[in-house]
Amino acid sequence: MPRRYDKVAEKTPFVNIIYMTVYFFDTKLIYVNHNVLTHIYITTLARIWHIIQSNYITSLNGMNKAIITIIVSIFLTLHYIPLSAEARAQNVLSLDECMRYAVVHNTSVKNQEITNENYKLDRIGAIADMLPIAASTSANLGYKHSIDPTTDAFITDGDFGNNYGISASIPIFNGFSTIHNVKISKIRQLMGADRSSQIKDDVALSTMRAYIDVIYSLNMIDRAEEQLKVSFETLRRSKKLLELGRISVADLAQIESQYTGYDLLVLQQQNRLELALLSLKDRMNYPIEEELSVETQDLLDNITIKALEESEITNYALKNNYQILNYNNNLKISKLHHKTEVARLFPTISLRGGYSTNFYKSVTSDNQYNSFHTQLRDNSAYSLGLSIGVPIFSGLSKQLNIRKSKNNLRIKEQEGKDIQRSIHIEIQKMLIGKRGAEKELVKAQQSVEAASLAHRASIRKFEEGLISALDMQITANTLLSAESNKLRVKLDYIINSRLIEYYGGTPLIRD
């Protein structure tokens, strides 16, 4: 679900008032981290207001400041609502929706579908080669000049003729080469379908990784902005402590440097987010000029992992993984090629039969000629024969091709062992990574909690003059590093868990 105001408790007063006001007008309006423009818009207004508050209305008491803050925030919120309504109209895509969009619009998937059509046509052609019947017809019209030997005069003769024929040749035995070719075309058609599925999964996987990068950047912006707000409050209090003489100018300069550093960090993370979004659009083949909003909290908060045994995952992968399916099909094709080469050594036996007839008439003479049907009947001819071809010697080419095909078959068999081993190792790596991420996630959470306590304690100690500004900055950096590490471990855990489920038979794209 989108994270709303009730999940964001530690914001500056101005930002809190803006969020509460917008929440009052429309509870479905705020989508923190789902629309970067929304979040940047509000935080930018907060920074501007802090500058105005610090420089122009510092003389007002607390009650007047609060009243002015509420009035300004309501005015800016009303100005902001049309912008948010437009942003809200944009579709917020989840991980599965992004992967599904990428698969539908990917050019490699479309190209493979066209290639599959060619495999289908090849199979039709292989089946058509088994048809024994062939038919032909021809028509001839000719004129010639000659000299009449009795009169020595030139004469012109013209004739017209038709030839018709039909024949059939049935291979009684050719080593089953024709049948092997049909089987090969069928296997290649199946391989094309498997290849399409593999490309779709590869596209979905690359989209998932790009999506995870976007999620990481969005959450790092959130972490950096929270540290920026804490640093701003510390800077504000430090100015008062300087007036009271409880800290030195050097300490204040250190805190200002820390604030500037976090401001720069926010800008850097926003730049990284733009690059991550651009990469995601590229994976999805999404229009570059259009805004892309993604769901964040649902992926991080609702982690559902399907319980699978290691043996169950391995057994399924070794039977259904695309690498295994492709290897098995290639092995079948190699065996059929080898059988085809062996078949060239055997004699070929074919039964042939045919029927032919013709029609003729003169177009320049008045001589009578038999009718069309009479000539077709009288000129008809039939043929029937049995042909046997025995290969005797072909320069050892057939024997050499048989040995080569046998060697290729042995190579394919060895490749199968390597493929099975690589899949097994890949599954083991993911299982180890998942188990390690589970343990690291617990430790990372403990590290964040400890670093948060240490940072809050360091702020109090700094205000009491017990530690320097540099010591306080070290604890702040430690907290940011711990939160970043926890986020990275959590995202790694999600990726490894998804991949393990994928190898175990669960589709990458879920309904």
| Whole-angstrom distance, CA of residue 203 vs CA of residue 197 | 10
Most trustworthy range by pLDDT among 266-280, 295-309, 384-398, 435-449: 266-280
- For the segment 135-162, the average pLDDT, to the nearest whole number, is 61
- For the segment 394-417, the average pLDDT, to the nearest whole number, is 84
3-state SS, one letter per residue, for 157-179:
EEEEEEEEEEEEEEEEECCCHHH
Dig out the tokens for 403 from the structure: 């040995």
At 367 the pLDDT is: 64
Q: Which residues contact 363 (CB under 8 A, 6 or more apart)?
A: 141, 158, 159, 160
The mean pLDDT value of the chain amounts to: 77
At 88 the pLDDT is: 43
> Is it the case that residue 251 has pLDDT exceeding 90?
no
Phi, psi at 28, each rounded to 5°:
-100, 15
pTM of the model: 0.67
**Higher-scoring residue by pLDDT: 379, 42:** 379
> Is it the case that residue 279 has pLDDT exceeding 90?
yes
At 93 the pLDDT is: 87
Q: Which residues of 202-225 are buried (b: 16+ CB within 10 A; e: fewer)?
A: bbbbbbbebbbbbbbbbbbbbbbb
What residue ranges do the domains of the chain occupy? 1-90, 132-173+352-390
Q: pLDDT tens for residues 318-339?
A: 888 888 999 999 899 888 888 8
At 61 the pLDDT is: 54
- For the segment 472-481, the average pLDDT, to the nearest whole number, is 85
- For the segment 66-94, the average pLDDT, to the nearest whole number, is 58
Neighbouring CB atoms inside 10 A of 287's CB total 10
Q: pLDDT tens for residues 449-468?
A: 898 898 888 888 877 778 77
- pLDDT band with cut points at 50, 70 and 90 for residue 206: very high
At 42 the pLDDT is: 57
How many helices (H) and strands (E) the chain has is answered by 13, 6
At 274 the pLDDT is: 92
Dig out the tokens for 285 from the structure: 């083949």
At 102 the pLDDT is: 93
> Is it the case that residue 34 has pLDDT exceeding 60?
no
Decide if 427 contacts 454 (C-beta within 8 A): no
Phi, psi at 163, each rounded to 5°:
-120, 135
- pLDDT band with cut points at 50, 70 and 90 for residue 25: very low
- pLDDT band with cut points at 50, 70 and 90 for residue 32: very low
At 56 the pLDDT is: 52
At 27 the pLDDT is: 37
Q: pLDDT tens for residues 412-440?
A: 888 888 888 998 898 888 888 888 888 88
Helix, strand or coil, per DSSP, at residue 10 = coil
CA dihedral 482, 483, 487, 489 (to 10 degrees): 20
| Lowest mean pLDDT across 106-120, 153-167, 493-507 | 153-167
> Is it the case that residue 496 has pLDDT exceeding 50?
yes
Residue 363: left if φ>0, alpha if ψ -120 to 50, beta else—which one? Answer: alpha
At 52 the pLDDT is: 60
> Is it the case that residue 283 has pLDDT exceeding 60?
yes
Between the CA of residue 270 and those of 32, 40, 104, 153, what are the distances in Å?
14, 9, 29, 102
Q: Nearest Cα to 416, choosing from 308, 488, 329? A: 329
> Is it the case that residue 36 has pLDDT exceeding 50?
no
